[in-house]
């Protein structure tokens, strides 16, 4: 059985791994394997995004909206001591207000469309209904972390 301190270390490690993976993948996001190979070769370290890339304005080693929103969701879960759909929406809206997200180049197309819909009052389940990218998969980590040992609750929360 893992003690509380050991559990916190694992949670912290998971969040750090998420951010590092985001930094590694940031310069190659939306690129095909062939484009990645042509531009960078085999990517096994941090690289700077090329000038024509969606993340061209991000510096070497920076995180994207994926990690930022994940961290905001974690902050809202801690503040509210629970998770539900309203808290998820609050996290996204609060993040949007903290950052100049629509004038930055790093917001993914599905995220941008869903956030604009949320801000117009579209119900959350409709706002992100037709997303074409994997932003939701990037932001589900907190639900696994708050439901350690309870797979069904993690699944139920993720379905929100």
Q: What is the pLDDT of residues 67-116, one digit of tens each?
A: 999 999 999 999 999 999 999 999 988 898 888 787 765 677 777 888 89
Asked whether residue 56 carries a pLDDT value surpassing 80, the answer given is yes
Residue with tokens 């001591």: 81
* CATH superfamily assigned to domain 4-159: ADP-ribosylation/Crystallin J1 (1.10.4080.10)
* CA separation, residue 113 to residues 109, 116, 117 (Å): 6, 5, 6
- Nearest partner of 64 among 158, 134, 143, judged by Cα: 134
Asked whether residue 134 carries a pLDDT value surpassing 80, the answer given is no
**Burial category of 88 from C-beta neighbours within 10 Å (exposed 0-12, middle 13-18, buried 19 and up):** buried
Q: Where are the domains of the chain?
A: 4-159
* CA separation, residue 22 to residues 1, 118, 127, 130, 154 (Å): 31, 25, 24, 23, 22
Q: What DSSP designation does 101 have? A: G
């Amino acid at each position: 059985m893992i003690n509380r301190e050991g559990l916190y270390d694992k949670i912290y490690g998971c969040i750090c791994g998420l951010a590092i993976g985001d930094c590694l993948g940031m310069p190659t996001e939306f690129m095909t394997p062939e484009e990645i190979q042509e531009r960078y070769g085999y990517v096994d370290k941090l690289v700077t995004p090329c000038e024509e890339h969606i993340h061209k304005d991000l510096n070497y080693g920076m995180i994207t909206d994926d990690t930022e929103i994940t961290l905001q969701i974690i902050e809202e879960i801690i503040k509210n001591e629970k998770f539900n759909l309203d808290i998820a929406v609050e996290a996204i809206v609060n993040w949007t207000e903290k950052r100049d997200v629509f004038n930055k180049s790093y917001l993914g197309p599905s995220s941008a469309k869903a956030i604009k819909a949320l801000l117009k009052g579209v119900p959350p389940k409709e706002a992100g209904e037709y997303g074409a990218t994997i932003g939701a998969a990037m932001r589900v980590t907190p639900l696994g972390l708050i439901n350690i040992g309870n797979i069904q609750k993690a699944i139920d929360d993720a379905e929100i």
